[in-house]
């Protein structure tokens, strides 16, 4: 990966990628799966430069996004000149993962729902090409079997044609720092180029084990708090995770048996390795206090000090 980083020529990469997309799509149409993250946005902009109005961007609301994220992202992408549709697939995704407890099963069912929804969106506009923002770290982890990635099919032996799609992955050989360089080169705003990575399956994999709407809402509220309180820290990622079990606590001197939240704040360059960030104790205490006070049902907050490896960044 470091070889790519040191020899990376942004201008010629863009020129080549634009030509490649044009050569593949020809006179046909394509959709671009957009999450608002830097990887998918850069991919969509490259495709837009390549095929212009024959590209339709699609933002899938799977119900596992952060608060107000769908509306915010769609507006942001429109301001970049992309023609974006917001697809509300919350029910479909929830049905797909309801009752599942195993991390890999959850990820696989999410991936299946993701491509089903995109397939429908593509066929509605008469497209068979799907542009997606898969990057090298996603591919490496999926191929090594560390975890199923929501946006990796071909490299793990699956055929996108099963969904009636051909995938185009302009960034599949790049790591995050190069993608951020591309974003700057393409003139994307800092809200995009510096955006904190958020996993494709979103809050689904930040509820460890079986997911319920109540648990998703708990982790969503805690996410607001962690993001607010860590804004100034410049961490690679900072987020809460709702753990599986419950613990004893007390509220107003009465027994409260409730949920446990772990806070994960890491430094990383490219997500391949990461270190747990040293956080001022006052910040951690404030996060814990706010979560206990503002997120009903949570009685305990922990800080994860494990590096990657051996832990991964996400818990699932």
Q: Which residues bind ligand XMP (CB under 6 A)?
A: 138, 141, 147, 149-151, 197, 199-201, 237, 271, 308, 312-314
Please state the closest distance from residue 120 (CB atom) to ligand XMP, in A. 20
- Please identify, using beta-carbon distances, which residue of 104 and 228 lies nearer to ligand XMP: 104
Write 158-162 long-range contacts (CB < 8 A, 24+). 160/115, 160/130
SS3 content of the chain, % helix, strand, coil (to 5): 45, 20, 35
Residues 161 and 129 sit within 8 Å (Cβ to Cβ): no
- Please identify, using beta-carbon distances, which residue of 177 and 197 lies nearer to ligand XMP: 197
Please state the closest distance from residue 53 (CB atom) to ligand XMP, in A. 27
- Please identify, using beta-carbon distances, which residue of 167 and 292 lies nearer to ligand XMP: 167
Residues 7 and 39 sit within 8 Å (Cβ to Cβ): no
What's the length of the chain? 316
- Tokens for 36, please give them: 């608002």
- Please identify, using beta-carbon distances, which residue of 80 and 241 lies nearer to ligand XMP: 241
Residues 221 and 254 sit within 8 Å (Cβ to Cβ): no
C-alpha dihedral sign at 285, 287, 292, 293: positive
Please state the closest distance from residue 314 (CB atom) to ligand XMP, in A. 3
- Tokens for 29, please give them: 């149409």
- Please identify, using beta-carbon distances, which residue of 133 and 258 lies nearer to ligand XMP: 133
Please state the closest distance from residue 296 (CB atom) to ligand XMP, in A. 27
Please state the closest distance from residue 199 (CB atom) to ligand XMP, in A. 4
- Please identify, using beta-carbon distances, which residue of 165 and 313 lies nearer to ligand XMP: 313
Token pair 């510096």 is at which residue? 194
Please state the closest distance from residue 312 (CB atom) to ligand XMP, in A. 3
- Tokens for 316, please give them: 């699932």
Task: Indicate the angle between helix axes 10-25 and 176-185, nearest 10 degrees.
Answer: 90
- Tokens for 156, please give them: 């793990």
């Amino acid at each position: 990966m470091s070889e790519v980083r040191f020899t990376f020529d942004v201008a010629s990469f863009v020129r080549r990628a634009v030509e490649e997309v044009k050569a593949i799509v020809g006179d046909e149409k394509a959709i671009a799966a957009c999450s608002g993250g830097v990887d998918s946005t850069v991919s969509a902009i490259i495709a837009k430069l390549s095929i212009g109005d024959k590209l339709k961007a699609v933002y899938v609301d799977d119900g596992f996004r952060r608060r107000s994220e769908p509306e915010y992202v769609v507006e942001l992408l429109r301001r970049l000149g992309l023609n974006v549709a917001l697809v509300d697939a919350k029910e479909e995704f929830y049905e797909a993962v309801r009752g599942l407890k195993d991390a890999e099963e959850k990820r696989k069912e999410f991936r299946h729902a993701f491509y089903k929804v995109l397939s429908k969106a593509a066929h509605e506009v008469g497209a068979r090409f799907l542009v997606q923002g898969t990057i090298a770290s996603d591919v490496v982890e999926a191929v090594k079997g560390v975890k199923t990635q929501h946006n990796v099919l071909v490299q793990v032996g699956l055929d996108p044609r099963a969904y009636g799609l051909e995938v185009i992955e302009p960034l599949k050989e790049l790591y995050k720092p190069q993608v951020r360089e591309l974003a700057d080169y393409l003139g994307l705003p800092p809200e995009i180029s510096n955006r904190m990575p958020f996993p494709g399956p979103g809050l689904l994999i930040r509820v460890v084990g079986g997911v319920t709407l109540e648990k998703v809402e708990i982790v969503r509220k805690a996410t607001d708090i962690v993001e607010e309180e860590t804004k100034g820290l410049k961490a690679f990622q900072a987020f809460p995770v709702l753990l599986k079990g419950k613990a004893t606590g007390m509220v107003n001197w009465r027994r409260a048996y409730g949920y446990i939240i772990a806070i994960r704040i890491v430094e990383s360059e490219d997500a391949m390795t990461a270190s747990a960030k040293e956080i001022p104790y006052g910040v951690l205490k404030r996060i814990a206090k706010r979560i206990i006070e503002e997120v009903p049902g949570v009685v305990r907050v922990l800080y994860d000090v494990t590096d990657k490896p051996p832990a991964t960044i996400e818990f699932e």
